[in-house]
Amino acid sequence: MKLLTTSELATLFSISKHTIRHYIDIDLLTPKERRDNGYFFFDEENVYRLYQIIVLRNIGYSLKTIKTVLTEEDVAHYFLEAEQNLQKKIDELLAIKNTVQNIIQAQERYKL
């Protein structure tokens, strides 16, 4: 795989270059290469790590927690826990949706 620039990596994940630089600054992401001109270049391992960071961030983990998570050998249990939390939220939202639908039906039926 060819090395990607910060701009290419940002485009790939639809995030800003600033976000990537921030991840570098806080040692969450370590580029494969840094050239004399200050440009960063990223390899496949960096792409996978950034993918993990973005997914964990979207799930709701803080950057501090993500940094800790990614130092562990096995991160699968974090994703399993996140999946369970997401399912719980989905179930809660479905219950709310059902309640709203019941209210709408009652309003139509009884002209409240």
User: Which whole-number Å values give the CA distances from 2 to 17, 64, 67, in the listed order?
Assistant: 19, 30, 26
The CA distance from 104 to 107, in Å, is 5
Phi/psi of residue 72, nearest 5 degrees: -85, 155
Phi/psi of residue 24, nearest 5 degrees: -70, -45
pLDDT in tens, the chain (112 residues): 789 999 999 999 999 999 999 999 999 999 998 988 889 999 999 999 999 999 999 888 999 999 999 998 888 888 898 889 889 999 999 999 999 999 999 998 887 6
The pLDDT of residue 112: 62
Question: Which H, E and C letters describe 70-107, residue by residue?
Answer: CCCCCCHHHHHHHHHHHHHHHHHHHHHHHHHHHHHHHH
